[in-house]
Structure 1
Amino acid sequence: MQNIIKYLLIASCFALLIACEKEGTNRYSYDANLISMIISDNANLSQLDAANKRTELHDMLLQEGPFTQLAPSDDAFTTDVNTIGLSRLTNIMRYHVLNGVYDFNKLPFQFNQEIYSYTGGKMFVTKWTKGVDTVITINGAIITPVMKDAKNGKIQVINRVLEPYLFDYLSEVVGNEYDITLFNQVLERVPAVRSLLQKEGAYTIYAPNNAAMVSYGYSTLEIINEKPVEELERLVRYHIVPDRRFVYDYVLTTPTSGNTNVTTTETMLNGDNLTLTLVFNSGTGTYNKITLLGTRNTTETNLTRENILAGNGVLHIIDQVLLH
């Protein structure tokens, strides 16, 4: 009988120990003031909550920190996070967490000033006063006024999902985009320009897609390889800005008034100007896109993809070759 009692006591202590360990493991789970719990309780951040829970971020953001969670609203997600591959989703969500507490309203950011995610990925913050408003962007996405303090940091809502960059240099980005292989071949033939895009600095490329290159007459690699290098260099230099330019940067830096389209100019790597039009969206009451016009183009050029980030600049893909 004594042995039975002894075994029961041991079993009870063991069960209590396991229960205590589980409670210790989940000691943050019941604190509603931690980042992950606040996100889970916010109906407008349901996609972010699902994304964090599919990755290790949910548990990490229950820890002491401090962290800043860049929080895309549900409207910012264009794809259901449950349909994104886990590896890619994990990379995206890691890019949305910063070590430390960032109050973007109070920090004196320069134009496209570098900061880093907790995994070391670069991102670029601009704080800009326009009229009576102060606008803050990160990688061209707008940092909204919606902000929430948490026990272990801060949650800052943004209006777009940020794509982490995969390559340090724009030359690598161009070489890995399937829709601009013809433009990449032109760039391969111009080592003087290609070498610029393999260095530290800041550049923006407006790369014509393959359909645009075919329309221009550069329809095959053989045709491109037969062209004089000087001709190819003139072409690529008119598609590169010697600075980093997200689409929304033009909205910030261009005087706007009323509800009409506004034009501005950009100086390209060859020294010639490119005309940009900020297109006003009457439905949203905002300028949310740009079009381009080269000096010899007769129709506006549109961006088919935008704000593709590299360590040393930004790539935009366009639907027409720019003529100068």
Structure 2
Amino acid sequence: MQNIIKYVLIATCFLTCSSCEKEDTNHYSYDANLISMIIADNANLSKLNAANKRTELYDMLLQKGPFTQLAPSDDAFTVDVNSAGLNRLTKIMRYHVLNGVYDFNKIPFQFNQEIYSYSGGKMFVTKWIKDRDTVLTINGAIVTPVMKNANNGKIQVINRLLEPYLFDYLSDALKNEYDITLFNQALERVPAVKSLLQKPGAYTVFAPNNAAMIKQGYGTLEIINKKPVDELERLLRYHIVPDRRFLYDYVLTTPTDGNTNIKTTETMLDGDNLTVTLIFNIGTGLYNTITLLGTRNTAEANLTRENLLAGNGVLHIIDQVLLN
């Protein structure tokens, strides 16, 4: 209910802001229906407005365009606009602008269709039917029904801040995450698996964090280096999905009744299955996380970080080693 109220407020602001008048205080013609002006007049997009101003996108989105602004609501902003490094913030905000006008309602019904941001970074758009409703996502973030046409493009509200990917390949993304160094060392020992994650394609890696690897007996680099390669390969292949899977993709592909946890299965790179449980959040009324259970696990693994995008797939970090 809170989400519905929030998006109703955003939509109301969109409807009313076009009648606002602004004084001409610089060289731009203050057309109230330009993207930056509409955002500035919307109280629920104040963080986006501040971020656009700090990164100079505000001025760009007063130009002719056309552009599409992907607009995280204030609740969706996970970055402090004032304290974040300017270089990082600029990359994030440029990733939320598309060249041209995108009507996502007109794209085909398909998972993870590739498009490009203004800065050239890939993103993945899904359109699917869920419980008779059409659902749109970008990098696993929900595209809300709140949309506003502007004279220089379109504003489309989304429910999560998007992080541009830093690495073309999952092998490099794994190498640069400080809390999965032990899992990455196992990957370094198995060239046959590492080479898969160094190629174009689509993979999803559920990488156990260092604490999970220590608990399972892979506590140091020296221990991992002494393990048989075939043992490490079995371990790795049971943590990789041969397809791109954002968290919300599991919600879209699983029948749900809207008020209880639901189980489904995922087939891993080695051909074995694991159990995926969709967790229903009573407070938000949404399925907003998952847990994983290997065939020999006695407790479910939780996601500690999710939807870390690379050019050839997605990385999720989990708190247990999956056992088959």
When the two structures are superposed, what TM-score results if normalisation uses the length of structure 2? 0.91
The alignment status of 1:129 with 2:129, answered yes or no, reads: yes
TM-superposition CA deviations, 1:207-255 (whole Å, max 9, x none): 0000000001111000000001000000000000000000000000000
Q: How does 1:151-300 map to 2 (within 5 A)?
A: 151-300=151-300
Q: Supply the distance in 1 between the matched residues of 2:67 and 2:111 (Cα, whole angstroms).
A: 24
Q: Supply the distance in 2 between the matched residues of 1:160 and 1:126 (Cα, whole angstroms).
A: 15
Give the superposition deviation at 1:108. Answer: 2.2
Please identify runs of 4+ aligned residues in structure 1 that moved more than 6 A.
none
Q: Which residue of the partner structure matches residue 28 of structure 2? A: 27
Look up the equivalent residue of 2:120 and give its one-letter code: G
Segment of structure 1 superposing worse, 169-178 or 129-138: 129-138
Report if the CA contact (8 A) 1:125-1:138 is conserved. Answer: yes
Q: Supply the distance in 1 between the matched residues of 2:258 and 2:46 (Cα, whole angstroms).
A: 35
Q: Supply the distance in 2 between the matched residues of 1:216 and 1:241 (Cα, whole angstroms).
A: 21
Report if the CA contact (8 A) 1:109-1:125 is conserved. Answer: no
Q: Supply the distance in 1 between the matched residues of 2:46 and 2:284 (Cα, whole angstroms).
A: 23
Look up the equivalent residue of 2:221 and give its one-letter code: L
Give the superposition deviation at 1:282. Answer: 1.0
Give the superposition deviation at 1:24. Answer: 11
What SS class does the counterpart of residue 112 from structure 1 fall into? strand
Q: Which residue of the partner structure matches residue 38 of structure 2? A: 38
What SS class does the counterpart of residue 78 from structure 2 fall into? coil
Q: Which residue of the partner structure matches residue 140 of structure 1? A: 140
Q: Which residue of the partner structure matches residue 59 of structure 1? A: 59
TM-superposition CA deviations, 1:108-166 (whole Å, max 9, x none): 25210000001110000000011221100000000000000100000000000000000
Report if the CA contact (8 A) 2:71-2:156 is conserved. Answer: yes
Q: Supply the distance in 1 between the matched residues of 2:272 and 2:143 (Cα, whole angstroms).
A: 33
Q: Percent same amino acid at aligned positions?
A: 81
Aligned residues: 301
The alignment status of 1:68 with 2:68, answered yes or no, reads: yes
Q: Supply the distance in 2 between the matched residues of 1:119 and 1:110 (Cα, whole angstroms).
A: 24
Give the superposition deviation at 1:107. Answer: 2.4
Q: Give 1 or 2 for the bigger CA radius of gyration.
A: 1
What SS class does the counterpart of residue 218 from structure 1 fall into? coil
Q: Which residue of the partner structure matches residue 323 of structure 1? A: 323
What SS class does the counterpart of residue 105 from structure 1 fall into? helix
Q: Supply the distance in 1 between the matched residues of 2:185 and 2:64 (Cα, whole angstroms).
A: 50
Give the superposition deviation at 1:25. Answer: 6.9
Q: Supply the distance in 2 between the matched residues of 1:124 and 1:183 (Cα, whole angstroms).
A: 27
Q: Supply the distance in 2 between the matched residues of 1:152 and 1:307 (Cα, whole angstroms).
A: 31
Look up the equivalent residue of 2:44 and give its one-letter code: N
RMSD: 1.2
Look up the equivalent residue of 1:27 and give its one-letter code: Y
What SS class does the counterpart of residue 84 from structure 1 fall into? coil
Give the superposition deviation at 1:64. Answer: 0.3
Q: Supply the distance in 2 between the matched residues of 1:183 and 1:258 (Cα, whole angstroms).
A: 35
Look up the equivalent residue of 1:222 and give its one-letter code: E
What SS class does the counterpart of residue 322 from structure 2 fall into? coil
Q: CA distance change for structure 1 residues 299 and 47 in 2, over 3 Å: closer, same or farther?
A: same
Look up the equivalent residue of 2:294 and give its one-letter code: G
Q: Supply the distance in 2 between the matched residues of 1:158 and 1:109 (Cα, whole angstroms).
A: 19
Report if the CA contact (8 A) 2:306-2:316 is conserved. Answer: yes
Q: Supply the distance in 2 between the matched residues of 1:26 and 1:245 (Cα, whole angstroms).
A: 46
Q: Supply the distance in 2 between the matched residues of 1:25 and 1:65 (Cα, whole angstroms).
A: 19
Report if the CA contact (8 A) 2:258-2:285 is conserved. Answer: no
Give the superposition deviation at 1:258. Answer: 4.3
